[in-house]
Amino acid sequence: MSSLLKSANKRADAKAANGKSKGKGKGGLPVTDVISAEQDMAMELDGDEEEEDIAEEEEEEEAPSKKQKESKGKQVTKSSAAGGAVDRTKPRKDKVLLLSSRNTTGRMRHFMLDLQALLPHTKKDAKLDSRQSLYLLNELADLHSCNNSLFLEARRHEDLYMWLARTPNGPSVKCHVQNIHTMDELKMTGNCLKGSRGVVCFDGGWDQDEHWKLMKELITHIFSVPKTSRKLKPFIDHVLTFSLLDNKIWFRNYQIVEKDPLKPSGPPQTSLVEIGPRFVLTPIRIFEGSFGGPTVYENPEFISPAATRASIKRDQGQKYRRRQEGMSDKADRVAQQQEDLGEDELARDQVFA
């Protein structure tokens, strides 16, 4: 009963705040149910009166069925399906807040700029100062009217983490970024229009596990440029590739070349040239909320880079320690031997004392 009351209150709050739900991702708060979350999101996305009407209707429909939980569960799924159907008629509106933490290195910064150049629907903001209060990002995204955010968190000047999040209500994914190659590198010879939409390509592995499926949707939100984006140029001239290999996500960006450069008048032959950037993501956790909330998935294979480095150092230290032990052993042995021999009767002290 109480949970239902809570959700009802939540909904009222949400409406009062003109469709902006608050503080859901702020960790310690009690968890709301999915209905309110979905409705909040729907309002956030469209903000239309129609939408609110539908939400109210759903609410009314739900009221009588509260006692029978099974039927209610079905109701929820139905309403979510209905939400999807409403979305179908409207163009997708996605905007991504792109920012980094402090202490990024040059390479990381260039990487971020590459992403910004590649995705015309991003909005770049100044560095986020505090590492603890990530929930601020929700408000920041709200200020920029973004409903996604891509946050690059640098640690110790060498590790980079990437947060992919749907902002006010989640979910969010935290990934470790490795093997960054920026577009400036000379081996990436391709080029494409700035602000053109790219085809986003996934491989077959993405449909095998549930967490990959979820990440696929998130990545689609963030990396696929919506039709309605401003600064958009027509034509599709590049492919963004997300491949799963070794439980990691490998990103590549290729230019589509439809003519053979050697035979310009010949039949069109499609080939690809890499534009860049390149990076590899290792998912660490998937959270229910944005930048927080309960963990719904955790990568069992992930070992933090700090731990890896520590183990390497420990191994190196081990070698040294063994040598030192050997030396001290030898010293002990010598001392022991001398002790065993006892004092020499003819030692100078003995004779001349």
Partner 1 sequence: MAQKGRQSTGSQAGKAESIAAPSPAATPQTKAKQAASSKTSTPVVPVKAAKAPTPKPEAVEENDEEWQDEDSEAEGDEEDDGVTEEGMQRLMALLQKENALDDFDMAQLGEGSDEEDEDNDEDEDDEEDEDVEGDDDAQMAGDDDKDDVSEKPAKRVRISGEDEVQAADENDLALDDLESNLSVDEDAVPQRKVTKNNIPALEVLREGIMVSNLPFGEHLTLTSHEDHSEVDPSDDLKRELAFYKQALSVVDKAKKLCQKSDIPFTRPTDYYAEMIKSDAQMARLRSNLVEEAASIKKSEQARKQRDLKKYGKEIQHEKLKQRLQDKKGLDERLRGVKRKRKDGADLGDDKDGAEFDVALDNAIEGKGGKGGKGGKDARDGKDAPRIPRHARDSKYRMGGGGKRSKENDKESTNDFNFSKGKGGPGGAKGAKGKPSRPGKSRRANRR
Site for partner 1 in 301-340 (CB under 8 A): none
- Given phi > 0 = left and psi -120 to 50 = alpha, else beta, which region is 27? left
Rounded least distance, CB 268 to partner 1, Å = 9
Q: Under the criterion CB under 8 A, does residue 64 sit at the interface with partner 1?
A: no
Distance CA 280, CA 303 (A): 15
CA 322 to chain centre: 42
Rounded least distance, CB 280 to partner 1, Å = 9
Q: Under the criterion CB under 8 A, does residue 232 sit at the interface with partner 1?
A: no
Rounded least distance, CB 229 to partner 1, Å = 11
Contact 105, 130 (CB under 8 A): no
Q: What is the dihedral of CA 218, 223, 228, 229, to 10 degrees?
A: 130
Residues in Cβ contact with 244 at an 8 Å cutoff, skipping those fewer than 6 apart:
203, 205, 206, 212, 250
Q: Which of 11, 21, 38, 146 binds partner 1 (CB under 8 A)?
A: 38
Distance CA 75, CA 70 (A): 9
Q: Which of 200, 232, 260, 305 binds partner 1 (CB under 8 A)?
A: 200
Token pair, residue 345, equals 């009767």
HSE-CB of 61 using CA atoms within 13 angstroms = 15
What x-and-dash track marks residues 167-196 binding partner 1 by CB under 8 A? Answer: --xxx--x--------xx-x--x-xxxxx-
Closer to partner 1 by CB, 73 or 317: give it. Answer: 73
Q: Which of 91, 266, 267, 342 binds partner 1 (CB under 8 A)?
A: 91
Rounded least distance, CB 230 to partner 1, Å = 15
User: Phi, psi at residue 9, to the nearest 5°?
Assistant: -60, -45
Sole window of 122-130, 197-205, 314-322, 343-351 interacting with partner 1 (rule: CB under 8 A): 197-205
Closer to partner 1 by CB, 104 or 241: give it. Answer: 241
Q: Under the criterion CB under 8 A, does residue 82 sit at the interface with partner 1?
A: no
Q: Which of 244, 249, 281, 283 binds partner 1 (CB under 8 A)?
A: 244
Q: E strand or H helix at 123, and its extent?
A: strand 122-124
Interacting positions 100-139 with partner 1 (CB under 8 A): 117-118
Per DSSP, the three-state class of 321 is helix
Q: Under the criterion CB under 8 A, does residue 297 sit at the interface with partner 1?
A: yes
- Other beta carbons within 10 Å of 311: 11
Q: Under the criterion CB under 8 A, does residue 155 sit at the interface with partner 1?
A: no
Q: Under the criterion CB under 8 A, does residue 27 sit at the interface with partner 1?
A: yes
Rounded least distance, CB 275 to partner 1, Å = 7
Q: Under the criterion CB under 8 A, does residue 269 sit at the interface with partner 1?
A: no
Nearest to 164 by CA among 82, 219, 123, 240: 219
